[in-house]
Amino acid sequence: MLNALLAMAAIAILLGAVLGYAAIKFRVEGNPLVDKIDAVLPQTQCGQCGFPGCKPYATAIAEGVADINLCPPGGDEGIHKLADLLGMEYKPFGGATQPKPKSVAIIDESNCIGCTLCIQACPVDAIVGAAKQMHTIIASECTGCELCVPPCPVDCISMVPIEESIANWKWKYPVYALTASK
């Protein structure tokens, strides 16, 4: 009886030690789930999901506060990826803003008054300019978030959809319908 108790106690202590050691040894800094979700999000930082950026939205998803179908730039594909990552069921898009074709912001430079309001709004520092100097957008860094559009006092920023060129052209999904299905 005593032997059995001792043995059980010894095992408990041993396993406890292993678990404690593992907890220290394999300790994970931060919340890996948030990072994983953040990695899937398109990083436009546009806030169209209702959260002030991709990371906050990722945090909200991880905490179960937000749904996975709120990101317009991520589109259908993004929802599928999130659903796969989180082992959830796919949902059709349910956000407030409808997904649009990918665009870049263009400043109409003849109208720009150099107020720097758009520079302050740009989440990825893709606008170059200084006070009372003309501003311009680095197209390759622009995520198309549209955040610079509303602050502009002279409405000189417009969103231009990215046109298809030979460089970004994609082969289409074969359209041959299987005869078996009409």
Partner 1 sequence: MRTLYQFHGGIHPPTNKTQSNHTPIKQASLPSKLVIPLHQHVGSSAKPIVEAGQRVLKGELIGAPDGHLSSAVHAPTSGTISAIDMQIVAHPSGIPDLCITLIPDGLDEWIHREPCDDWCALSHTELRHRLRQAGVVGLGGAVFPSDVKLYSHKHKIKTLVLNGAECEPYITCDDLLMRERATEILQGAQIMRALLYAEEVLIGIEDNKPEAIAAMRAAVTEGCHERMEVVAVPTIYPGGGAKQLIRVLTGIEVAAGVRSTNLGVQCFNVATAYSAWRAIGHSEPLISRIVTITGNVGHPQNFEALIGTPMDELVAQAQPLPGTTGYIMGGPMMGVLMPSMQVGVIKATNCIIAAAKNLFPAPAPALPCIRCTRCAEVCPSELQPQELYWFSKAKNLDKAEDYHLFDCIECGACSYVCPSNIPLVQYYRFAKSEIWAQEASQKAADAARERHEFRESRIEREKREKAEKLAAKEKAAIEARALRAETPQAVVSSARPDADPENTMQLKIQLAIDHAKEQAAAIKPKNTEQLTPQQLAEIADIEARRARVREIAKDVTHIDGHS
Partner 2 sequence: MSGFFSPFITKPVSVSQIMLHVLLALIPGIALYVWFFGPAILVSLTLASITALGVEALMLKIQNKQIAPTLKDNTALLTAWLLALSIPPLAPWWLVVVGTAFAISISKHLYGGLGNNPFNPAMIGYAVLIISFPVHMTHWLTPHGLGDVSLSFLEQLNYIFQGVLPDGIKLDAITMATPLDTLKTQLHLNGHVQEILDMPIYGRLAGQGSEWVAAGFLLGGVYLIAQRIISWHIPLAYLGTLFAVAGLFHLIDPAHYVTPVFHLFSGAAMLGAFFILTDPVTSPTTPRGRLIFAASAALLTYLIRAFGGFPDGMAFATLLMNICVPLIDAYTQPKVFGKKKGQS
Query: In the complex, which residues of this chain contact partner 2 (CB under 8 A)?
Result: 176, 179-182
> What are the two backbone dihedrals, phi and then psi, of residue 100, each rounded to the nearest 5 degrees?
-120, 165
Per CB under 8 A, 134 contacts partner 1:
no
Residues 97-116 that bind partner 1 (CB under 8 A): 111, 113, 115
Per CB under 8 A, 172 contacts partner 1:
yes
Round to whole Å and give the CA distance between 143 and 102: 8
Matching residue, tokens 């649009």: 100
Residue 10 Cβ vs partner 1, minimum distance, rounded to whole Å: 46
CB 129 within 8 A of CB 135: yes
Q: Which residues contact 93 (CB under 8 A, 6 or more apart)?
A: 69, 72, 75, 76, 79, 99
Round to whole Å and give the CA distance between 54 and 65: 14
Per partner kind, with CB cut-offs from 5 to 8 A, the member of partner 1, partner 2, none near residue 123 is: partner 1
Round to whole Å and give the CA distance between 163 and 176: 26
Per partner kind, with CB cut-offs from 5 to 8 A, the member of partner 2, partner 1, none near residue 5 is: none
Per CB under 8 A, 92 contacts partner 1:
no
Residue 179 Cβ vs partner 2, minimum distance, rounded to whole Å: 4
**Interface positions with partner 1 (CB under 8 A):** 38, 41-45, 53-54, 77, 111, 113, 115, 123-126, 141, 143, 153-154, 164-166, 168-174, 176-180
